Amino acid sequence: MAPPSIRLFNTMSMQKEPLEPLVPGEVKVYVCGPTVYSYIHIGNARTFTSFDVVVRYLRYRGFKVTYVRNYTDVDDKIIKAAHETGEAPVDLASRFVEAFREDARALHLREPDVSPRVSETIPEIVAIIQTLVDKGYAYEAKGDVYFAVDKDEDYAKLSKRNLDDLCQGERVQPGDLKRQPLDFALWKAAKPGEPSWDSPWGKGRPGWHIECSAMSEKFLGRTFDIHGGALDLIFPHHENEIAQSESATGQTMAKYWMHCGFLDLEGAKMSKSLGNVVRLRDALAKVDAEALRFFFLSTHYRHPLNFGEKALQDAEGRMEYFYETLRKVDERVAGKDFGKGPLHGEPARFLTEFESAMDDDFNTAGALGALSGLFGFMNELTDKPPVKDKPLVGRTLQALREQVRETSRVLGLFEDDPGAWLLRRRDRAVRERGIDVAEVERLLAERTAARAAKDFAKADQVRGALKTLGVDIMDTPAGTSWKVAAPAS
């Protein structure tokens, strides 16, 4: 069986390339994980969701995937945050590792195969630094160790930046022991109150960039297939990773580099320095997790994405439409035997379109477009069947429903029971809008009685009263249900 023809955009070459793994049928993926000094924000969440789908799709396509995503649990930001809270840095880091795991589960992120921590990788970090020193790529200065950028002729090959321009924007700060402005720390000498480990240069701790070189090599080898992260990591983090790893090993670090675009907050780039950061758990308190995930996936991972209240409302409304469709289909076909036979139309085309979009640089926006066609076809078959052959329609609906299950394995959407999801959505909307559920139920009973008495004028009057309360009702073969109406735009 021929491997699928997946193409991905490689930041190194700045073009789409066919995915040709180093080992046929196997893909090794490393993604830079969170620095655990606080709760992650929605920009982080978008990046992790994008690569979660990349890994899911590779597995869906039959690849054996080894997925590594690290925790940076030794860092200047962690030390600073710990001093502010009075905690030990290790305790603060562990607390936010657990917080991240909670947030990741809420967002339907699957656990990586390996989730290493910097604090657990010190021997490997020290070994790489020693190799760089021995080869003349790094130098020691009073317990610090720095990478000498001018020793690496290929430096900045990922970011395509001009070294002269970079040097003009950098300065050697007072007390800094590096020789050149662009040199960066591999090891930092111990300071009072900071975590530290023994090394050939004295007690200290790793610099930021060296950790990913050590962890990726430890779990994926000196050369692996895909290295991913957010766009803002290209420089200096990923650039410095490449310099360290390739100078130490003499081998290419990663064959493909993938980067997720920025998330903008109401038209402005989200930034901690600007104070306009939205934490993931705060967003999840206001919007359903699957709706937020749908929002992330509705735009190609490399493109910028605008985050705002209207966009979230639209995403949640779209998920409600999907789940209402699935509830109708399940009521129609679940557990029923329509026998074997032909299907109506060409239902398989939707899965083909889905895979074609995902094969093209993991285009989730195109994949969701294919699913919109699938859901539209399901609604057509349930609401106004174009044929009167009920077994034919039933078989087709069952085939389409199975396609939704297949795609949900990739997207992490539509995994819930439709009725349970819709009820949660309704309950949250009821609380937000202050709707009196007892009054709604009383009016529904009044309408049911009017319909039973064939007093349709009264029934319509009650429907209007419910509409005034902000409630829409749906009459189905299974009975009457209700939901909170979408807010007026």
Q: Is the peptide bond preceding residue 236 cis, with omega within 30 degrees of 0? A: yes
Order of strands across the sheet that contains 254-260: 64-69, 26-31, 224-230, 254-260
Query: Mind listing the pLDDT tens digit for each residue in 372-423?
Result: 999 999 999 999 898 889 999 999 999 999 999 999 999 999 999 999 999 9
Neighbours of 15 (CB within 10 A): 9
- Give me the residue spans of the domains in the chain: 7-283, 307-418, 435-484
Given a contact cutoff of 8 angstroms between Cβ atoms, the answer to whether 53 and 411 are in contact is yes
State the DSSP H helix or E strand holding residue 451, giving kind and residue range, or none if neither: helix 437-452
What is the rounded distance in angstroms from the CA atom of residue 456 to the CA atom of residue 471? 19
Phi, psi for 28 (deg, rounded to 5): -105, 125
Question: Is 241 known to sit in a ligand binding site?
Answer: yes
Q: Which two tokens stand for residue 178?
A: 């590096």
Question: Is 246 known to sit in a ligand binding site?
Answer: no
Q: How confident is the model at residue 55 (pLDDT cuts 50, 70, 90)?
A: very high
Query: Mind listing the pLDDT tens digit for each residue in 65-94?
Result: 999 999 999 999 999 999 999 999 999 999
Which has more confidence, 4 or 121? 121
Q: Which two tokens stand for residue 122?
A: 């010190």
Question: Is 84 known to sit in a ligand binding site?
Answer: no
What is the rounded distance in angstroms from the CA atom of residue 181 to the CA atom of residue 159? 18
Could you tell me the CATH superfamily of domain 7-283? HUPs (3.40.50.620)
User: 424 Cβ partners below 8 Å, 6+ apart?
Assistant: 288
What is the rounded distance in angstroms from the CA atom of residue 352 to the CA atom of residue 364? 14
Query: Mind listing the pLDDT tens digit for each residue in 191-208?
Result: 998 999 999 999 999 999
Q: Which residue type does 192 have? A: P
pTM of the model: 0.92
What is the rounded distance in angstroms from the CA atom of residue 243 to the CA atom of residue 217? 14
Neighbours of 213 (CB within 10 A): 28
Which has more confidence, 474 or 278? 278
